[in-house]
Structure formats: structure tokens, C-alpha cells
């Protein structure tokens, strides 16, 4: 199975970021994980939230930001990968002059009802 980023329609998720589901079981037939691209516009911050079940990996492909991960604050930039364990409160702010682009891998796959806004 192959998908193309340009063929995927973006939507705004519960945390306020623009999301493109690049690979998700509900659409593509994979089973154990999902992969999405999140875009956070300059100066924008996603809403603080957590996932009860899903473990996430965020990988920065463009831009820079500040990641809040429980009580930790991390500066993130191109090439950085952050582990977000289930139940960990998190949000991200695009801190540069350009949009922050993140690849988000979730296992088990992302589900809206697994997202708890805080």
C-alpha cells in the first residue's frame, strides 16, 4: 500500500493542529499504528492533551518549536524525535518564523476518542 501526501485531505484535530493522516487503518488497511503529518502555524500552540492508550512519536521535519511534555519543556527542531508515553500531557508551540511540521506515529493507531483535552 502506498499513499501520497498530496492526495490526503487535511483536517483540524481536537488539539488544534492541521493533520494529514498519511497511513491509518480506517483507510489504508494497516493494523498496528498510524502515521500523520501535523502542521502548527508560527506562533500557534496546540491544546494541552493526552492519549489514554496510544504511545506517540513526534519527528520534526521542518521548523522549530517548544514541546511541553508533562512537567518538562523541550526545544525541538529538524531531526529531533520525541517519545510521548500514554497518559502524558503534552502540547507543542511553533516558535519560529515558519510552520512546524511533525510526523506523528501512534501505536495503537490514533483515535479521536483516545484524545483527552486538558
The residue behind cell 521542518 is: 62
Provide the pLDDT for residue 16: 81
For residues 64-75, one letter each, b for 16 or more C-beta atoms within 10 angstroms of the residue's C-beta and e for the rest, the string is: bbebbbeeeeee
Q: Using one digit for the tens of pLDDT, what is the confidence trace for 41-58?
A: 999 999 999 999 999 999
- Indicate the domain borders of the chain: 10-109
CA atoms within 13 A on the CB side of 105: 10
Instruction: List, for residues 12-34, the tens digit of each pLDDT value.
Output: 888 888 989 888 877 777 889 99
Q: How confident is the model at residue 76 (pLDDT cuts 50, 70, 90)?
A: very high
Hey, which of 1-15, 53-67, 104-118 has the most confident mean pLDDT? 53-67
Work out the average pLDDT over 72-78.
98
What's the CATH code, domain 10-109? Answer: 2.60.120.10
Amino acid at each position: 500500500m502506498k499513499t501520497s501526501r498530496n492526495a490526503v485531505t487535511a483536517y483540524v484535530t481536537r488539539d488544534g493542529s492541521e493533520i494529514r493522516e498519511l497511513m491509518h487503518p480506517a483507510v489504508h488497511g494497516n493494523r498496528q499504528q498510524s502515521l500523520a503529518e501535523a502542521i502548527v502555524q508560527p506562533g500557534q500552540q496546540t491544546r494541552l492533551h493526552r492519549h489514554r492508550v496510544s504511545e506517540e512519536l513526534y519527528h520534526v521535519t521542518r521548523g522549530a518549536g517548544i514541546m511541553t511534555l508533562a512537567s518538562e519543556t523541550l526545544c525541538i527542531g529538524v531531526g529531533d524525535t520525541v517519545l510521548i508515553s500514554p497518559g502524558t500531557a503534552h502540547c507543542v508551540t511553533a516558535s519560529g518564523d515558519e510552520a512546524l511540521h511533525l510526523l506523528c506515529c501512534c501505536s495503537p493507531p490514533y483515535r479521536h476518542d483516545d484524545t483527552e483535552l486538558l
